[in-house]
């Protein structure tokens, strides 16, 4: 019976973890263009539903750009905070932890000032209202979730 208890624990873990993992969205900033110069990041951000818990991913060749989280004034005037605060990995992930306006700029040269490499977004608290696209996505996720459940139960029965 100890084995069955183990399956129950595994099952409980999976059922609690999967909905949490699938609810958070990942946004690749700039899509296929990544984080670069001469790209309209305001247009990219428009209509996107950024929520607390979602993740931004900034992709760029290492050394070509950086990511700096700044405040509104720094954003408007392209004022760079100390370079030590910059993200430089080339695949920087930022989890949106709080709601409100967020500002990001590139710290390299005049990328922010002259080539528009700056992004500002508004992060919402997770809402219960779901857009149709989201609802479909969630349905798919729950199908996956039940698929995993069935697999686990099948495994449990097999032993």
Binding piece for Cu ion, criterion CB under 5 A, among 16-24, 41-49, 75-83, 114-122: 114-122
* Residue selected from 68, 70, 111, 119 as contacting Cu ion according to rule CB under 5 A: 111
Q: How many residues bind Cu ion (CB under 5 A)?
A: 5
Cα(68)–Cα(75) distance, rounded to whole angstroms?
A: 10
* Residue selected from 104, 105, 117, 121 as contacting Cu ion according to rule CB under 5 A: 117
If one asks whether residue 87 binds Cu ion (CB under 5 A), the answer comes out as no
Nearer to Cu ion, 115 or 141 (CB): 115
* Residue selected from 68, 108, 119, 123 as contacting Cu ion according to rule CB under 5 A: 108
Cα(77)–Cα(15) distance, rounded to whole angstroms?
A: 47
User: Residue 152 is encoded by which pair of tokens?
Assistant: 């686990």
Cα(131)–Cα(120) distance, rounded to whole angstroms?
A: 22
User: Residue 82 is encoded by which pair of tokens?
Assistant: 């100390």
Binding piece for Cu ion, criterion CB under 5 A, among 4-12, 59-67, 91-99, 144-152: 59-67
Nearer to Cu ion, 65 or 102 (CB): 65
**Residue 93 near residue 59 (C-beta atoms within 8 A):** no
104-123 b/e with 16+ CB inside 10 Å = b?
A: bbbbbeebbeeebbbbbbeb
Q: According to CB under 5 A, which residues from 19 to 48 bind Cu ion?
A: none
How many C-beta neighbours within 10 Å does residue 64 have?
Answer: 14
Contact set with Cu ion (CB under 5 A): 65, 106, 108, 111, 117
């Amino acid at each position: 019976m100890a084995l069955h208890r183990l399956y129950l624990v595994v099952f409980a873990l999976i059922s609690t973890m999967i909905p949490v993992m699938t609810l958070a969205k990942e946004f690749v900033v700039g899509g296929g263009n990544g984080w670069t110069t001469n790209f309209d990041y305001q247009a990219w951000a428009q209509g996107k539903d950024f929520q607390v818990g979602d993740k931004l991913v900034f992709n760029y060749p290492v050394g070509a750009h950086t990511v700096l989280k700044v405040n509104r004034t720094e954003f408007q005037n392209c004022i760079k905070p100390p370079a030590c605060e910059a993200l430089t990995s080339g695949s920087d992930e930022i989890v949106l932890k709080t709601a409100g306006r967020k500002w990001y700029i590139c710290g390299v040269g005049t990328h922010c000032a002259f080539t528009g490499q700056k992004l500002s977004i508004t992060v919402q608290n997770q809402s219960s209202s779901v857009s149709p696209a989201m609802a479909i996505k969630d349905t798919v996720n729950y199908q996956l979730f039940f698929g995993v459940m069935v697999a686990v139960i099948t495994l449990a029965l097999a032993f």
